[in-house]
Chain A
């Protein structure tokens, strides 16, 4: 048959018409939609018996109670524990994402020994027996050389049985070098020590205050115990408590306050003293407290009267003189006013001048150790272990001063100085560090001038990490002895910072250990056994759980049943019994040292001519910045005004941006005296002109593919600035400049 043009077209058209009239195309479309949705790799989660386990979250120092929902042996959801004294059902997004850490790709699954260069992520799996033997051998060698003080430990906390076991191990081994990671707890401890003579933590009875004056504290941005703070904020709405936020940027805390007072960054101490000036001048202070329970007031009064007139203070802080006077009156006339400080989430200590000045404000209005005030909370001592016996080697080691200079003649009251540690490792040839333990800390991310800290760590011959997760510091370890995660282990969580009444939480195993990990407590006990002698004798327990049960004594059963132990009837001691100084009074001027609240302004690095802008950090509750970084859910909820693909957006005032020729989303290079980085700009009216605010918690490496390489680590751009009194790193920012990319 001949196919001519006509029959060809008829065939084509007829075929098309026939097909479209038949059910075939519709059937195919239907089938394709069904079959493209029925790939077997879309998981079908198995059903099973539902159960709930109460425990405590340890991903930040907040200490919230959690209830974990399980299906058979799988944990499927973490929720806030109802009736828990701190969070009563509320929970933050880090707590909610905990299962992504438990089952996630950043877990360290077995003991590992490094085979590549540091940071190259090349490991060899080893058995626990080998790992412990190797670590013990190293410890034994150092001790046989009579150098036990050349071993140090960095820990995220110094309270609770696990940090205490680590400290005990170090001490009986012969090293005084246990170091806690820095935070505002250091500054508050020091302030309370100098002004009240207490070795205690600051507790804030915020729920009962009627005016809260915050010097940059991120009340709803993760300061203190984050969920408790947000709950307190909601309670103020009911009680009509006024909240005043003083800081250079309109943070979420500032936006949620009743009044936002922008201030030149770093001048908070001057404002506090200016307020004190007005309060004293107008006799608005609590004369009962000042006359009967304090000393040094007159001396300090003279200093404040001469130096901090509102007009001068206004010039330095950039706050209108009238605003200062009104603020002072509002504060002093409230019945339970409370001033708090420690910027952002409080992860960087503040200057002692600033902390003493803010604390003096609370003293002026007599709002101490009473409802709605600041309480000096002595650590609830439930850990009562037998004394350790030191042999000669240990005694010799312990008699050596600390590597970081804390407690030395220069810094007698400072307990830990991780900022100096890195420097000392790098430069102090007389004190060559030979071994370092890392627990719940990520100094290679969290320390200012990270590259310098990294350089110092490179000099330490042997680093042992107990981390459950991969992160910057874990990548630098020689041996990883992975701890169980908080969802697989027992541990006690002592009263979190800022909480006035004692609450001890109990971390309980929710699921069986998922991998070949071991409890750090058990590993410490095993290491002690391997070393033998007096070291082994200091750990009389069979294992960690026996130690914990023995320590908690009668509370154990309550804690197993409820998940926590608390003392709701606890009250602060009366003023007669509050102060531990020889004067038994509150000291405006410390009689020993002559230190008083004054504003030694902490100047930041860089000269104004080359670096016309100021870079400050801004903390968000959606970006974890401690030893745990954002799990995938949290990265997902970060705004596209903070992170766009891998680019970090820094905030800048539109006026400043315009004057520099930048617009929204412009690419730029930010340079500081320490480092530089490529960023994008986000224009935001709620920031003082001349300031750049950089989100913290990003710029990770060596963690997992969901966070690595995203954004910039703020700490790499900033250098440490030492406070002259405490020797702590109190850098609140750095000078910077922006240039076109």
Chain B
């Protein structure tokens, strides 16, 4: 009990994504692009070069007709905590352009510090980081819809999901102005969670027992991606289907039941 009180001073924002609810509609992807001034090119079909902070993967169980099954999996940045804030990317960044915030649990990305060595991209096991190979170009007039809350990135830097950090800042300011000690759960929601028509994405403070994610992450069917690497990600997935849960990590063929990593 004492320990929990000590921890609750710090926030640990994270997500629980219900893959049984997710229909693969892709609203989260576009909500993220629209919120965060993500650029686009004439051809975006090379997905290695296509900047999508939140990317929707399509998984199949690869069984022949008619036993086939399909499941979608939205992948934002996992905001890995590692052990004591040692996220894979944070550990390797030579310019402190990316950092783990112990106050919020959010892995930041400061574009003006990044000089584009892309070491973080190599170290990220989730491929959640993207490099700006070109300057962003919006067609004539379209710059009007750009949001001043998120700075457009320039050529030569890495970018990734920030859990809509600018919304956290707004919510923090709002709480301060209203004299509230804490941010309301509903005041800080990411753009993807807000747009999701199926209600599959739940966002909140994993340390706060009053937040929905606190309970949801304890679901017996909850898992995280590549848990055995020890990245300690803050995005949980829930699926009632065993094959989907297995697809969340690298299992050898002869390995038996799913194992939980202990952190």
Residue of B nearest to A231 (CB): B197
CB distance from A500 to the nearest CB of B (A): 19
CB of B143 within 8 Å of the partner chain = yes
CB of B45 within 8 Å of the partner chain = yes
Among candidates A42, A76, A252, A684, residue contacting B154 with C-beta atoms closer than 8 Å: A42
Chain B contacts with A in 18-52, Cβ cutoff 8 A: 20-21, 23-27, 29-31, 33-35, 37, 40, 42-47, 50, 52
CB of B64 within 8 Å of the partner chain = yes
Do residues A38 and B199 form an inter-chain contact, with CB atoms below 8 A? no
Q: Other than the known A87-B197, A686-B65, A704-B139, what 12 A-B pairs have Cβ atoms closer than 8 Å?
A: A30-B115, A42-B136, A75-B144, A76-B146, A79-B194, A93-B31, A97-B34, A104-B139, A230-B23, A255-B71, A685-B67, A686-B70
A-B contact pairs, 19 of them (CB 8 A): A37-B154, A47-B148, A75-B144, A89-B195, A91-B31, A91-B195, A91-B197, A99-B145, A100-B145, A250-B70, A262-B65, A622-B25, A633-B30, A633-B34, A636-B44, A641-B58, A685-B65, A686-B66, A704-B139
The answer for the CA separation of A79 and B32 in the assembled complex, in Å, is 11
Residues of A within 8 A of B45 (CB): 638, 640, 643-645
The answer for the CA separation of A78 and B35 in the assembled complex, in Å, is 9
Q: With A100-B145, A639-B58 as given contacts, are A262 and B44 in contact (CB-CB < 8 Å)? A: no
CB of B56 within 8 Å of the partner chain = yes
CB distance from A632 to the nearest CB of B (A): 5
The 6 closest A-B pairs by CB, nearest first: A90-B197, A686-B68, A220-B23, A33-B115, A93-B30, A45-B146
Do residues B145 and A90 form an inter-chain contact, with CB atoms below 8 A? no
Do residues A255 and B145 form an inter-chain contact, with CB atoms below 8 A? no
Residues of A within 8 A of B42 (CB): 705-706
The answer for the CA separation of A227 and B25 in the assembled complex, in Å, is 10
Main SS of chain B's interface residues? loop
The answer for the CA separation of A634 and B27 in the assembled complex, in Å, is 9
CB distance from A664 to the nearest CB of B (A): 12
CB distance from B77 to the nearest CB of A (A): 18
The answer for the CA separation of A2 and B79 in the assembled complex, in Å, is 64
The answer for the CA separation of A633 and B198 in the assembled complex, in Å, is 20
CB distance from A624 to the nearest CB of B (A): 12
Q: With A99-B145, A234-B199 as given contacts, are A93 and B25 in contact (CB-CB < 8 Å)? A: yes
Do residues B25 and A621 form an inter-chain contact, with CB atoms below 8 A? yes
Q: Contact string, B178-200, partner A, CB cutoff 8 A, digits 1/0? A: 00000000000000001111111
Q: With A237-B21, A636-B50, A686-B70 as given contacts, are A90 and B195 in contact (CB-CB < 8 Å)? A: yes
Residue of A nearest to B143 (CB): A43
Residues of B within 8 A of A570 (CB): none
Do residues B157 and A92 form an inter-chain contact, with CB atoms below 8 A? no
CB of A668 within 8 Å of the partner chain = no
The answer for the CA separation of A251 and B148 in the assembled complex, in Å, is 39
CB distance from B26 to the nearest CB of A (A): 5
Do residues B66 and A92 form an inter-chain contact, with CB atoms below 8 A? no
The answer for the CA separation of A724 and B68 in the assembled complex, in Å, is 37
CB distance from B52 to the nearest CB of A (A): 7
Residues of A within 8 A of B (CB): 30, 33, 36-39, 41-48, 71, 74-80, 87, 89-93, 96-97, 99-100, 102-105, 220, 226-227, 230-231, 233-234, 237, 250, 252, 255-256, 260, 262, 514, 621-622, 632-641, 643-645, 653-655, 684-689, 704-706
Q: Contact string, B69-100, partner A, CB cutoff 8 A, digits 1/0? A: 11110000000000000000000000000000
Do residues B145 and A76 form an inter-chain contact, with CB atoms below 8 A? yes
CB distance from A669 to the nearest CB of B (A): 21
CB distance from A496 to the nearest CB of B (A): 15
The answer for the CA separation of A641 and B196 in the assembled complex, in Å, is 23
Do residues B34 and A96 form an inter-chain contact, with CB atoms below 8 A? yes
Residues of A within 8 A of B21 (CB): 233-234, 237
- Interface centre among A30, A103, A688, by most B CB within 10 Å? A103
Residues of B within 8 A of A (CB): 20-21, 23-27, 29-31, 33-35, 37, 40, 42-47, 50, 52, 56, 58, 60, 62-72, 111-112, 115-116, 135-136, 138-148, 151-157, 194-200
Residue of A nearest to B146 (CB): A45
Do residues A637 and B71 form an inter-chain contact, with CB atoms below 8 A? no
The answer for the CA separation of A237 and B239 in the assembled complex, in Å, is 13
Residues of B within 8 A of A621 (CB): 23, 25-26
Residues of B within 8 A of A237 (CB): 20-21
Residues of A within 8 A of B43 (CB): 645
Residues of B within 8 A of A91 (CB): 27, 31, 195, 197
Residue of A nearest to B70 (CB): A255
The answer for the CA separation of A622 and B65 in the assembled complex, in Å, is 25
Do residues B156 and A33 form an inter-chain contact, with CB atoms below 8 A? yes
CB distance from A226 to the nearest CB of B (A): 8
Do residues B195 and A96 form an inter-chain contact, with CB atoms below 8 A? yes
Residues of B within 8 A of A87 (CB): 197
Residue of B nearest to A78 (CB): B34
Residues of A within 8 A of B197 (CB): 80, 87, 90-92, 226-227, 230-231
CB distance from B66 to the nearest CB of A (A): 5
Do residues B142 and A250 form an inter-chain contact, with CB atoms below 8 A? no
The answer for the CA separation of A103 and B145 in the assembled complex, in Å, is 8
The answer for the CA separation of A71 and B70 in the assembled complex, in Å, is 41
Do residues A685 and B30 form an inter-chain contact, with CB atoms below 8 A? no
Do residues B142 and A100 form an inter-chain contact, with CB atoms below 8 A? yes
Residue of A nearest to B43 (CB): A645
Residue of B nearest to A234 (CB): B198
Do residues B196 and A90 form an inter-chain contact, with CB atoms below 8 A? yes
The answer for the CA separation of A689 and B66 in the assembled complex, in Å, is 10
Among candidates A36, A47, A105, residue contacting B140 with C-beta atoms closer than 8 Å: A105
Residues of A within 8 A of B70 (CB): 250, 252, 255, 686
Residues of A within 8 A of B31 (CB): 79, 91, 93, 96
Residues of B within 8 A of A80 (CB): 194-195, 197
The answer for the CA separation of A633 and B155 in the assembled complex, in Å, is 20
The answer for the CA separation of A298 and B151 in the assembled complex, in Å, is 71
Residues of B within 8 A of A33 (CB): 115-116, 156
- Interface centre among A43, A231, A634, by most B CB within 10 Å? A43
The answer for the CA separation of A638 and B62 in the assembled complex, in Å, is 21
The answer for the CA separation of A87 and B153 in the assembled complex, in Å, is 33
The answer for the CA separation of A90 and B23 in the assembled complex, in Å, is 13
Q: With A76-B147, A96-B27 as given contacts, are A250 and B68 in contact (CB-CB < 8 Å)? A: yes
Do residues A44 and B147 form an inter-chain contact, with CB atoms below 8 A? no
Among candidates A30, A103, A234, A637, residue contacting B30 with C-beta atoms closer than 8 Å: A637
Residue of A nearest to B44 (CB): A636
Residues of B within 8 A of A71 (CB): 147-148
The answer for the CA separation of A564 and B161 in the assembled complex, in Å, is 35
CB distance from A222 to the nearest CB of B (A): 9
Residues of A within 8 A of B152 (CB): 42-45
Residue of B nearest to A106 (CB): B139
Do residues B69 and A653 form an inter-chain contact, with CB atoms below 8 A? no
Do residues B58 and A45 form an inter-chain contact, with CB atoms below 8 A? no
The answer for the CA separation of A375 and B248 in the assembled complex, in Å, is 43
The answer for the CA separation of A97 and B26 in the assembled complex, in Å, is 12
Do residues B65 and A636 form an inter-chain contact, with CB atoms below 8 A? no
The answer for the CA separation of A22 and B166 in the assembled complex, in Å, is 41
Do residues A93 and B47 form an inter-chain contact, with CB atoms below 8 A? no
The answer for the CA separation of A688 and B30 in the assembled complex, in Å, is 32
Residue of B nearest to A77 (CB): B34
The answer for the CA separation of A656 and B116 in the assembled complex, in Å, is 46
Residues of A within 8 A of B23 (CB): 220, 230, 233, 252, 256, 621
The answer for the CA separation of A453 and B227 in the assembled complex, in Å, is 56
Residues of A within 8 A of B72 (CB): 252
Residues of B within 8 A of A704 (CB): 139
Among candidates B135, B145, B195, residue contacting A79 with C-beta atoms closer than 8 Å: B195
The answer for the CA separation of A41 and B138 in the assembled complex, in Å, is 10
Q: With A96-B31, A104-B141, A640-B47 as given contacts, are A685 and B60 in contact (CB-CB < 8 Å)? A: yes
The answer for the CA separation of A38 and B157 in the assembled complex, in Å, is 11
- Interface centre among A256, A640, A654, by most B CB within 10 Å? A256
CB distance from B129 to the nearest CB of A (A): 17
